[in-house]
Amino acid sequence: MVGMLCMVVLSLSFGNWSSRRISEYGRTYVVRPKGRHQATIVWLHGLGENGSSWSQLLEGLPLPNIKWICPTAPTRPVTAFGGFTCTAWFDVGELSADGPDDIEGLDTTAAHVANLLSTEPANIKLGVGGFSIGAATAVYSATCFAAGRYNNGNTYPINLSAVVGLSTWLPCSRNLKNKIQGSQESTRRAASFPLLLSHGKGDDVVLYKHGHKSAEILSSTGFRNLSFRTYNGLGHYTVPEEMEDVCRWLTAKLGLDRSRS
Buried b (16+ CB within 10 A) or exposed e, 54-66: bbebbeeeebbbb
**Rounded Cα–Cα distance for residues 83 and 173 (Å):** 24
Burial of 134 (0-12, 13-18, 19+ CB in 10 A): buried
Task: List all residues 6 or more positions away from 257 whose beta carbon is below 8 Å from its beta carbon.
Answer: 36, 38, 65
Residues acting as catalytic residues:
132, 203, 236
Torsion angle, CA of 237/197/115/15, rounded to 10 degrees?
-70
Question: What letter represents residue 46's amino acid?
Answer: G
- Given a contact cutoff of 8 angstroms between Cβ atoms, the answer to whether 26 and 50 are in contact is yes
- Helix ranges (H only) for the chain are 51-59, 103-117, 133-147, 176-180, 184-192, 208-221, 240-254
| 3-state secondary structure labels for all residues of 175-187 | CHHHHHCCCHHHH
